[in-house]
Chain A
Amino acid sequence: MSFTLIQIILIGVALLGAFRTVRQFRAGRVPPAWLAFWGACWTALAVVAFIPQTTDIAANIFGVGRGVDLAVYVSIVLLFALSFKLLMKIEDLERDITRLVRALALKDSDKTDHVA
C-alpha cells in the first residue's frame, strides 16, 4: 500500500494533534469534552487521509458533489465557529482585565471630597 505525500502529511498532522491533545488532557489543561471533540477531529482526519473515498460517501449523504468539496465546506464552518469562540473568549478576557484595572483605580483613587 503506497501513500501520496499529502496523505503522509495529513496522517502526521493527525498523529501530532492527537498526541498534543492527550498530553494537554493529562496535564489538566483540556476538559474531557474537548478531548472527545479533538479526538474525533484527529481521528476523522486520519481516516480521510488513509481512505480518501470516505469523503465521497459522506458527500453523497449530504448531497455535495465531491468528497473534497464537503471537506472544504466543513472546514470553513469549523474555522468560523472556532474564530467566533476565540473572539468571545478574548472579550471575556478583556472584561476581566478591565475589572482588575477598575478595582485598582478605585482603591487608589483620590480620597478628597468622598462621602463617607
Chain B
Amino acid sequence: MRVIAVIPCYNEASEVGRVVQTVRSFVAQVIVVDDGSNDASAEEARKAGAVVVQHVINRGLGASLGTGFAAALMNGADAVVTLDADGQHDPSEIPSLVAALEAGADAALGSRMLTRTGMPARRQFANTLGNVLTFLLFGSWVTDSQSGYRAINASTLAKMDLKTNRMEVSSEIIAELCRVGACVVEVPIKAIYTEYSLSKGQNWFVGIKTAIKLLLRRLSS
C-alpha cells in the first residue's frame, strides 16, 4: 500500500522540518501544503525531503487538506495520512492507522479522547462540543471530531467532496465519510502538547466562527 502523508502547514518553519524527517520513515512520500506562509516553512519542508505544494495566499486548513488530497491522488497514493505540522502528532502511530485500513476500514480517525493522554481539560470540553455539533448537523458520532490525525484510503477520498476552507473541515470530513458510506474506525492516539503546539491552538472565537461555518455548510448541502 502506497501511503502518502499530507501535512498542512502555515508558518511552522521551526517545526515542520523535524516533523517531515520523522514522518518520512513511515510513508512513501510526504506532501507539505504550505498555505501562504510568511516564514521559511516551504524551504524547511523541502530541505527535509517533502514534496511541497504552495498556496500563493493563505486559504485555511480545509483548503490545504483539499489541495494535499488532490496532490496525493495525483501522485498515486493508495492511502493518505494527515497530520499536523506543529509536532502534536506522533508519527510512530502512522502504522496503526494504516493497519486499520489494511484490516478493511475505509478511514481511520485518530482519537485523543480514547486515551486523553496529556490533553488539557479545556481542550477535552471544546472537543466534546465539537463532537456534539458534528452529530447534530451531520448525524455521525465520533469521539474526537476535531482530530487532525487520520488515514483515508484513496478510493474513499476520490468520492469525497470537501467544500469548507478553514477549521470546519475536520467535522466536514466526518460528514463526508458518512455521506459516501465509508467504514470508519477510531484509533487511539496520544497528543503531544508542548508550549509551542498549545500556543498554536484555537481560541473560543475561532470555535464559534467554525460552528457558524459548519451550520452554513449544512444548510448549503
* Closest beta carbon of chain A to B18's beta carbon, Å: 19
The CA of A91 and the CA of B213, in the complex, are separated in Å by: 9
- Give CA–CA (A87, B65) in the complex, Å: 23
Chain A: interface secondary structure?
helix
Q: Which residues of B contact A114 (CB under 8 A)?
A: 51, 74-75
Any A CB within 8 A of the CB of B59:
yes
For B56, list chain A residues within 8 Å (CB): 101, 104-105
Q: Given A98-B165, A102-B70, A106-B70: A112 and B63 within 8 A (CB)?
A: no
Pairwise interchain contact B71-A109, C-beta atoms closer than 8 A: yes
Within 8 A of A (CB), among B11-41: 29, 33
Provide the residues of chain B in CB contact with A109, threshold 8 Å. 51-54, 71
Contact check: which of B46, B57, B71, B76 meets A106 at CB < 8 Å? B71
Interface size on B, residues (CB 8 A): 26
Q: For B190, what are the chain A residues with a Cβ–Cβ distance below 8 Å?
A: none
CA gap between A97 and B75 in the complex, in Å = 24
Alpha-carbon gap, A12 to B55, bound state (A): 48
Q: Are B55 and A106 in contact (CB under 8 A)?
A: no
The count of A-to-B residue pairs whose CB atoms sit within 8 angstroms is 59
In the bound complex, CA of A102 to CA of B74 (Å): 13
Task: Tell me the smallest distance from the CB of A29 to a CB of chain B, in Å.
Answer: 24
Question: Chain B's interface: helix, strand, loop or mixed, by majority?
Answer: mixed
Contacts A114-B74, A115-B76; A102 near B63 (Cβ below 8 A): yes
**Given A106-B70, A114-B75, A101–B55 Cβ distance below 8 Å?**
yes
Which residues of A, 81-114, contact B by the 8 Å Cβ criterion?
87-88, 91, 94-95, 97-98, 101-102, 104-106, 108-110, 112-114
* B206 close to chain A: CB less than 8 A: no
Is the Cβ of B216 less than 8 Å from the Cβ of A101?
no
Pick from B2, B53, B165, B216: contact of A105, CB below 8 A.
B53
Contact B57 A101 (CB under 8 A): yes
Find the B residue at minimum CB distance from A112. Answer: B51
> What is the CB-to-nearest-CB distance from A110 to chain B, in angstroms, rounded to a whole number?
5
Q: With a CB–CB cut-off of 8 A, which chain B residues contact A112?
A: 51
| Contact between B220 and A91, CB atoms less than 8 A apart | yes
Residue-wise interface mask of B (62-99) relative to A, using a CB-CB cutoff of 8 A (1 in contact, 0 not): 01001100110011100000000000000000000000
CB of A72 to closest CB in B, whole Å: 25
Q: Taking the nearest CB of chain B, how far is it from the CB of A105, in angstroms?
A: 5
Known: A105-B33, A105-B54, A114-B74. 14 other contacts (CB 8 A): A88-B216, A88-B219, A91-B213, A101-B55, A101-B56, A102-B66, A104-B56, A106-B71, A108-B54, A110-B51, A110-B52, A110-B53, A113-B29, A115-B76
**Which B residues are within 8 Å of any A CB, using their own CB?**
2, 29, 33, 46, 51-57, 59, 63, 66-67, 70-71, 74-76, 163, 165, 213, 216, 219-220
